[in-house]
Structure 1
Amino acid sequence: MTAALLLLLGVTVLTAHTVVNAGRWLRRPTDRPVEVTEPVAVLLPLRDEADRVTPCLRALLAQRGVPGLGVVVLDDGSGDGTAEVVRAVVADDPRVTLLTGVDPPPGWLGKPHACWQLATRVEEPATALVFVDADVVLEPYAVAAAVTELRAAGATLLSPYPRIVVRTTADRLVQPLLQWLWLTFLPLRAMERSPRPSLAAAGGQFLVVDRAGYLRAGGHAAVADQVLEDIELARAVKRAGGRIALADGSRLASCRMYEDWPQLRDGYTKSLWASFGHPGAAAVVLTVLLALYTAPPLVAGAALLAGAPTVAGVAVGAYLAGVAGRWVSARATSGRAWPDALGHPVSVAVLGWLTLRSYHLRKRRRLSWRGRPVG
């Protein structure tokens, strides 16, 4: 009984934190028409994105409220005709520059190197840089709204997290955990105020930075060998004396990260080891997550079979508290809240399996992404 009560207490406290984060501290950039007067450069790294870059490009060309907008695209060694698709979509639009990337030198991973090539090709007078991935589709005033929020927050780096598009069962199980994890476990207000680099989060799909602060932090050259280059860039900004902020960008952008289960599985596998760090730390975190969110329905079932209805009731309460946290997170970020939240214990279990797979493949030096080794 004591263990069941502790589970209920732990999950309830964390769900209350999710509610506070979502209701009080989560930034929400405006989705109304807004205009910025400063020049902005949107940077788009591409590698084998011929099949899905068109909606992204069209959305960039349709941006409003940024009179000084420039778009710089880098074809990072694609072998599928990505550059030809870019040329066909942008035609002779003078706002767009298409670059041909070079292979990353020793010590660099592909994504940081592509972003650094883009950033170093941006010319004056651009004062804000917006990094966007090919799977992101922006609303017409997204860039203007994100830059406005960056300046309002007094931040060097702003991460407006897009709405994650889910279509398959695997999507619905795994993808919502991204927002749920930082809304549940990250104190957003403290993250913005604290200079500690360890207290940082960011999503590289849609990232807005002050150009001077970005360069002062070393830019992507400071995170050349990092799998989670977005989070490490946020930490580099803090080390350089800058501030970072997270925002709900679900009204500004949408993102379909992976097309199928193998892509999703391999996408998470390549980076989860870097999220947790030392295997011992990962073991502790996963044990806590599984105990709090996956164990309660199992404990409830076992207690009913053992003739302990009171214990079963407490365990059901812990399960429902976890479901409530998942529901709040989804509602706060324009995700699918119902009935997906009911499967939260399964989601956490899948996350545990993906994390174990990540460490296993890294130990065997079998991690790769887009044809390049990682980890």
Structure 2
Amino acid sequence: MRRAAPCRTLGAIRRERRVPRPMRHSHDNEPLSVGFVLLRRFTMMPFAAFVDCLRLAADEGDRSRQLRCHWVFMTSGGHDAMSSCGAAVTPCSPFRDPRDFDYIVVIGGVQDEHDAVDEAALHYLQRVAEAGVPLVGVCTGVFALIQAELMNGRRCCVSWYHHGDLTSRFPDIEPVADRLFIDDGDRLTCAGGIASADLAAYLVERHLGKAWAMKSLHIMLIDEARRGEHPQPQPVVFDKVADRLVRRAITIIEQHLGEAITVDELARRVGSSRRNIERKFREELGIGPQKFARDLRLRYGLWMLHYTAKSVTEIGERCGFADTAHFSRHFREAFGDTPTAMRKAAQRGETPVDPFFLHIASREGAGG
């Protein structure tokens, strides 16, 4: 069997020709080559999810040879990369010629205004862009792309957790916090976390075929790749709910925030009767499942008003309400103001109602 040509040899050929590396697809039979730029205190989860997806697609089984995929870890000066959790990645290479790679993936780190900017890394990212090599900003890696002035006029995907920080630091950039990743051709941005595996699988499928992408995900115990427009999980937190049946019902409700799931359907899915599920909700939470689900959908709407640019009409539809008037009426009853007024308050930096949390205290033994 012929061994695939090493990444550096391919890169050397391209440098001699002085042409940007073209976008390749699965029929080209060349290995997928990825360079990782690991910034100071980079976040381990998105890095590990991305590179492990490549590793598992690169070889048969779990043998980890860099056959179908090549990857290189790079830092300024080639020093070891220290992650936010204290684990170090070694060995790392100094920055290489961008033409060695199909993609340069930037893994961002903890955002601290007192940290010095890695100017060498920013200059390298500018070189990558000039060479026509696609840049991938993962987690807070998108902050580095913005600092390198490579995201002007573009949307960028960011985690809901970093949305506020990004908008305050870079008010001219349009952040998107209601999806997993955005493919904008030569710029790809990802919210981070386990969504990095979804983006890596997306690129593996593009270059090597769907079978290799699914092989990686299945070994990682991920059922299927989520598309870029898949919504991010919303930061809704509940106080302790002791009853197992109620917890299962809440999980189902969370997974169907875009539709008004009926109590009968909810009872069927948890294997209970309508009467029993209503009784348990009232004993545990003090309200019935229907009101609980509606309150949760309204809370989801409140979150989108704060962290997306969607219109009130779009948000009402995403929250499962029949029309804008229906959504606005219930919203005002729940939060004391209209969706439009609440959005304006959020834009002024005010938060009359915390969009992150829905606290419903457990009512042990309470009736109702």
Normalized against structure 2, the TM-score is what?
0.25
Structure (1/2) with the larger helix percentage: 1
TM-score by length of 1: 0.25
Greater relative contact order (CA < 8 Å, ≥ 6 in sequence): 1
